[in-house]
Structure 1
Amino acid sequence: MLNTDAATLSPIALFLQADWVVKLVMLGLILASVWTWMIIIGFSSRMRGTNNTIRRFERDFRKSDNIDDFHRVRGDDDSPVARVFAAGVTEWRRSTGQRSIDRDGTRERLATVMGAAVAAEVDRMADRLNILATIGSVAPFVGLFGTVWGIMRAFTAIAGEQNSSLAVVAPGIAEALFATALGLFAAIPAVIAYNRFSHSINRVEARLSRFADGFHTTLSRQLEAR
């Protein structure tokens, strides 16, 4: 075993002197941590953009006097609320383009179509949240596996050296605890981000649902006027 000075107990030295199994564990946890932060940064940027596009779309929709004109101008926007709006307009045209209009059936179909569009947008936004959930739940146990393996090495060193002094056991214990720390370093941000992003997606879902309900009410009034 190596001496227990500050250099040999540094993170880099602990990685280099670790057993190959613990090295694989450490590398996996480091990659998981990098992947977590990439998802966090990308998802944060995407959620900000989504909320901004929804706010602008709702503002312009309230100012519009004609649904068909607004759909012609904004119906192809690349935003969740625009796709919900487009789904409602498409079903409205299909249901009211017939000679005989079933008002109750039209209302039900509009609600179903826009509800399905909202659910599809939520699924699209939550695409990578399962990765954060997996890392948050698995990383501590992967780190624990590295910890157990490192402690086993420390006991093996004690048996080989027939000496239980700190100089013999410290490197193995240190690398074991370092694996635990890496597991927590990957898991804690993933869990926090998962909870935060889940809340953000729930708020967006509620906002899309409110827009769909309001649009459904508008179309229902027009249906009564026919």
Structure 2
Amino acid sequence: MPSSESSLQIPLSFSPWEMFLNAGSVVQCVMALLALASLLTWTIFIAKSVEFLSVRRKLRTAEKTLEEAGTLALGEKGTRQNSIAHTLVMAAETEKAVSHDIPNDNEGLKERIVLHLERLEAAEGRRLMRGTGLLATIGATSPFIGLFGTVWGIMTSFTGIAASKATSLAVVAPGIAEALLATALGLVAAIPAVVIYNHLARQSASCRAQVADLTSLVMRLVSRDLSRAHIFTTSAQITPFNVNRMAGE
């Protein structure tokens, strides 16, 4: 009799690892999938955080360089080590070179450059958000995947109870606990994914704002160059006229 009482007092082990090992194959696959999703979430978070840190540092350097540059050529020279800033400057220079045969078209040239730079801004925004779509998928689907594992595990537990014809709590509890672990893992995978996705979206928006600032600085350099070219052309046209008039007098 004492031995039976002592055996009843031995607590059942419900550690997550043992519940995973005792679960059915389908529930184990669901749990492994959710664990992989959680690992991907944190991997993307670390990788994108490092990327955004580097991008923000480069954008700040490029902004300072373009602020100090007096011409577009100097801006191109100072941003050669910065991919997105150099791309913006080269796009403006390329459009200027292509449009050199169109006379008196400063406003049209500015409009074409702005359209090109806007496309580059959008492309940079898409590049910055690359990989974060997986976080949205994980955040949206993980709870349902975990729920599927729970439903399947409970169905399996009830089938086993019916087969063994035992309805005691000690028989029912382990199977239900193993099944509920799948739902818990689904929430563990989904909640960080949603939080991290929102955080990275804010970081991307901040970087896109900095890229927009670079676009404004590039357009300022373009406007300066065009104004200088206009003044030079006007003075070159007026000077011979004045010289001839003075000679006639």
TM-score (norm 2): 0.82
User: Structure 1: how far apart are the matches of 2:75 and 2:222?
Assistant: 14
Q: Distance in 1 between matches of 2:78 and 2:210?
A: 22
Which residue in 2 is equivalent to 1:152? 155
Q: Which residue of 2 is the match for residue 68 of structure 1?
A: 73
Amino acid in structure 2 at the alignment position of 1:181: A
Q: Quick one: structure 1 residues 65 and 218, their matched pair in 2 at CA, closer, same or farther if it must change by over 3 Å?
A: closer
Q: Choose which of 180, 183, 205 in structure 1 pairs with 2:183.
A: 180
* 2:197 corresponding residue in structure 1: 194
Q: 1:99: Cα distance to partner?
A: 5.8
Contact residue 71 and residue 225 of structure 2 kept, 8 A: no
1:106 is paired with a residue of what secondary structure?
A: helix
Q: Equivalent residue for 2:98?
A: 94
User: What is the rounded CA distance, in whole Å, between the counterparts of 1:162 and 1:211 in structure 2?
Assistant: 73
Q: Deviation string for 1:80-130 (max 9, x for gaps)?
A: 3332233223223322x3262422220111110100011111111111111
* CA–CA distance in structure 2, aligned partners of residues 81 and 162 of structure 1: 73
Alignment of 1:117-128 (within 5 A): 117-128=120-131
Partner Cα distance (1:45, 1:170) in 2: 45
Output the CA distance in 1 between the equivalents of 2:189 and 2:102. Answer: 61
Q: What is the match of residue 139 of structure 1?
A: 142
Distance 1:106 1:99, change over 3 A: closer
Q: Give the deviation of 1:170 after TM superposition.
A: 1.2
Question: 1:75·1:85 contact (CA, 8 Å) conserved in 2?
Answer: no
1:108 aligns with 2:144: no
Deviates more, 1:121-130 or 1:199-208: 199-208
Deviates more, 1:211-220 or 1:176-185: 211-220
Match of 2:246 in 1: none
Please say if 1:27 is aligned against 2:32.
yes
**C-alpha RMSD of the superposition:** 1.9
**Do 2:72 and 2:89's aligned partners in 1 also have CA atoms closer than 8 Å?**
no
Identity of aligned residues (%): 38
SS at match of 1:65: coil
Aligned to 1:215: 218
Greater mean alpha carbon deviation, residues 9-18 or residues 59-68: 59-68
Q: State the AA in 2 paired with 1:24.
A: C
1:50 CA drift (Å): 0.5
Structure 1, gaps ≥5 residues long: none
Instruction: Identify if the C-alpha distance between structure 1 residues 60 and 218 changes in structure 2 by more than 3 Å, giving closer, same or farther.
Output: closer
Paired positions, count:
221
- Tell me the CA shift for residue 137 of structure 1: 0.4
| 2:89 maps to which of 85, 89, 92 | 85
Letter in 1 for 2:88: V
State the Cα distance separating 1:13 from its structure 2 match. 1.0
Does 184-193 or 203-212 show the bigger shift?
Answer: 203-212
* Cα shift readout 1:7-45 (whole Å, capped 9, x = no counterpart): 3x1111111111111011011111111111110000011
Q: Which amino acid aligns with 1:88?
A: A
Pair 207,74 (structure 1): closer, same or farther in 2 beyond 3 Å: closer
Q: 1:6 to 1:40 in 2, by over 3 A?
A: farther
- Closer, same or farther: CA 191–99 of 1 in aligned 2, 3 Å: closer
SS of corresponding position for 1:21? helix
Of the two, which has the highest radius of gyration? 2
